[in-house]
Structure 1
Amino acid sequence: MKALNMVSYPLVQSSNARIPSCLPAGLVAVFVGATSGIGEYTLKAFAKHAVYPRAYFVGRSRKAGARIEAECKVLNPEGDFTFIQSELSELKKVDDVCRRLKEELTVVDLLWLSQGVFSVIKTTDEDLPYAIALAYYGRYRFAQNLLPLIQKSSSLRRVVSCLAGGKDGPINTEDLDLKLARSPLKARGHLVSMITFSLEQLAKQAPDVSFVHNFPGPVRTNIARDNTAINIVVRSLSFFMGPFVYMAEAECGERHLFLCTSARYAAKNQTGVTCVALEKGVEVARGSDGQIGSGVYLPDQYGESAPASCEAILKEMRENGVKDRVWKHAEEQLVRILGSANAI
């Protein structure tokens, strides 16, 4: 049967409804950036469907964390939900959170990453642009640090990074950290490609783990929270246009839970890993390198793989050594800030 490129919402719902029968009780998940928006919606979908789940979620707002803890408990009284407050733009604090997680957990089945902000103006105390510190270095560092725990899992064994996978663009090798960039829209393709390359690098180290970098489409989030001129414009447009274009929060959460659990996004080496079995007519997705089941995926809001134009951009940069230059620079920055490029 021909595979479905776009996964319908009823198929997503059907797949998620089988989580209790396909996956074991006691799944352990870490949600980073889940105190608002897509991360919150996905965490709640996880709480709703998983059996005896154990979820840690990390964010800045203690008030939001307490609210979401309580709401998840209502959705699943038998689940365990723990909020960790931290400023995730600082890599030293990312390492602190990871140390705590590694002390309290022996395995992680799912790592969700959605921390980010729509800004290229602010700079962190570690001398990185705020947006790239959150969305690129912070996400990579969480995945790198927790990868050994993820590899111990027999269920899911997955990392999901939600930003704009499939919208990858050329990388400016003369300004890898976007210190000279002033337009978030122009910088987006650069940042997205860097995230995709970081996941490809991790997948090379751990082919038994699957990596998803998706584009969620128009969804109500808090990403434009900073009071910069562009964010004020974005919020104004969202206020007037959002109700007509936003995906419903419940559907958003269900669709992202599907990305977290379905065998459609399997690891390159899936031996011994349990996922939710494929729905009839749905097959393993095409990866970021254009190959079916390559282990790194760039689905859009409907689960469809990245277009050929995106794959061509990434391929050209790999062939021209851009990916290697990005990786070398990232390691140099980790050494500068943390003293080592190795996981803690």
Structure 2
Amino acid sequence: MVSISDIRASNVRITADTAPQTAVFTGATDGIGKATLTRLIMTKVPVRVYVLGRNGEKHRGFLDRLREVNKQADIIWLEGQLSLLAETKMLCDEIRSRETYIDSLCMSAGFITSGERVETSEGNGLSQSLTYYGRILMMAQLLPLLNASPNNPRIVSILAAGNETTSIYLDDLDLKKPGNFGLVSLSRSAATYTTLSMSRLAKENPRVVFFHHYPGGVDTGAFKKAWGDKWFWPLVGTVMSMFGTSPEDAAEKVLYLLTSAKYGGKGVVLSAGQSPGLNMAKMKGAGELFLVNDKVKELYQEKVMTQLEAMNAGDIIWRKTQETIGPYS
């Protein structure tokens, strides 16, 4: 576990040598992603950032303000619908045409359902496309650039580390059957698919540090957008303010994951008394996924991972994933 004061102390020591030179952000026009992008730009180090999303005109003012904050930042907007795998592939192609390497990929785009399963025009569940399939496709497409990084290549997927479970439908991974779809099953399945698939990619790409991060309860307004202006939102807001994490503190933690030497590489050097982080294999550095919760504590999930292995869940999920993203690879 790392205290927020230690995290802030590390982040104020970020320099051009420890910050990503080139980064890609999804979900950076709202919530944690927006706060993290803002915090990175506020370091005032030279950085080129690709911001991917839709409705670019709506976010022009925000991005222009960031450019004013850091004159050394090159902020590039790329327009596309991240819930569509074809457009995700198009955005990755554009980045690959411009760059020989990237240092960081930070993904937080998502959609919280109000209770009904909504499909994209490609026939995939909207929530799963944004939080899982699209993210795995983007990782696969951009890993050659990350592997080419001479710096500190890292991937952070902000989702639900620690919520892995064996209570998933291996015969219905897309939750299409009656009674299988719901907010709880959606959250648990996305967490489990993400950890299993990112763990596989981490083993295959040991130069890159992979994180599956749970930010905790953060009042980003996402639930209000999904459920509308209900009577209980003032109560939810009060609970969030008392026990939750602000987007700004959540952003400090994500920036720490992207820049601290705790996780290997040439990041910000640890202060006296701090120890290196351990990945899921309880080893230092890359070669396996880091599961990190909202307290910035590494998780190992040994029991559930052993049970999932006995179920052959990793291979089943990976085959389904490749079947879904394959036409866009």
CA distance in 1, matches of 2:169, 2:40: 37
Alignment partner for residue 129 of structure 2, among 127, 133, 139? 133
Code of the aligned partner of 1:296: L
Compare 117-126 and 30-39 and name the one that shifted more. Answer: 117-126
Instruction: Tell me if structure 2 keeps the 8 A contact 1:285–1:292.
Output: yes
Q: Which residue of 1 is the match for residue 86 of structure 2?
A: 92
Q: Which residue of 2 is the match for residue 169 of structure 1?
A: 165
Alignment partner for residue 7 of structure 1, among 2, 5, 8? 2
Residue 17, structure 1, aligned to residue 12, structure 2: yes
CA distance in 1, matches of 2:190, 2:30: 22
CA distance in 2, matches of 1:192, 1:249: 21
Measure how far apart 1:290 and its partner are.
4.3
- Give the secondary structure class of the aligned counterpart of 1:20: coil
Measure how far apart 1:48 and its partner are.
1.2
Measure how far apart 1:188 and its partner are.
1.3
* CA RMSD across the alignment: 2.3
Q: Which residue of 1 is the match for residue 309 of structure 2?
A: 318
Matches within 5 A, 1:239-258: 239-258=237-256
Change (3 A) 1:40 1:324: same
CA distance in 2, matches of 1:57, 1:159: 15
- Give the secondary structure class of the aligned counterpart of 1:19: coil
Instruction: Tell me if structure 1 keeps the 8 A contact 2:88–2:138.
Output: yes
User: Percent identity of the aligned residues?
Assistant: 27
Matches within 5 A, 1:66-145: 66-119=60-113, 121-145=117-141
Alignment partner for residue 21 of structure 2, among 1, 24, 27? 27
CA distance in 2, matches of 1:257, 1:333: 31
Measure how far apart 1:178 and its partner are.
2.0
Alignment partner for residue 264 of structure 1, among 244, 262, 265? 262
CA distance in 1, matches of 2:282, 2:235: 35
Instruction: Tell me if structure 2 keeps the 8 A contact 1:289–1:315.
Output: no
Residue 155, structure 1, aligned to residue 151, structure 2: yes
CA distance in 1, matches of 2:288, 2:268: 16
Instruction: Tell me if structure 2 keeps the 8 A contact 1:288–1:298.
Output: yes
- Give the secondary structure class of the aligned counterpart of 1:212: strand
Instruction: Tell me if structure 2 keeps the 8 A contact 1:160–1:260.
Output: yes
Q: Which residue of 2 is the match for residue 331 of structure 1?
A: 322
- Give the secondary structure class of the aligned counterpart of 1:134: helix
Residue 178, structure 1, aligned to residue 170, structure 2: no
Instruction: Tell me if structure 2 keeps the 8 A contact 1:209–1:295.
Output: no
Q: Which residue of 1 is the match for residue 275 of structure 2?
A: 283
Measure how far apart 1:228 and its partner are.
5.0
TM-score, length-scaled by structure 1? 0.87
Measure how far apart 1:274 and its partner are.
2.3
CA distance in 2, matches of 1:175, 1:302: 33
Compare 69-78 and 34-43 and name the one that shifted more. Answer: 69-78
Structure 1 residues without counterparts, runs of 5 or longer:
1-5, 267-272
Q: Which residue of 2 is the match for residue 298 of structure 1?
A: 291
Measure how far apart 1:246 and its partner are.
3.2
Q: Which residue of 2 is the match for residue 3 of structure 1?
A: none
CA distance in 2, matches of 1:103, 1:186: 38
- Give the secondary structure class of the aligned counterpart of 1:31: strand
Residue 215, structure 1, aligned to residue 208, structure 2: no
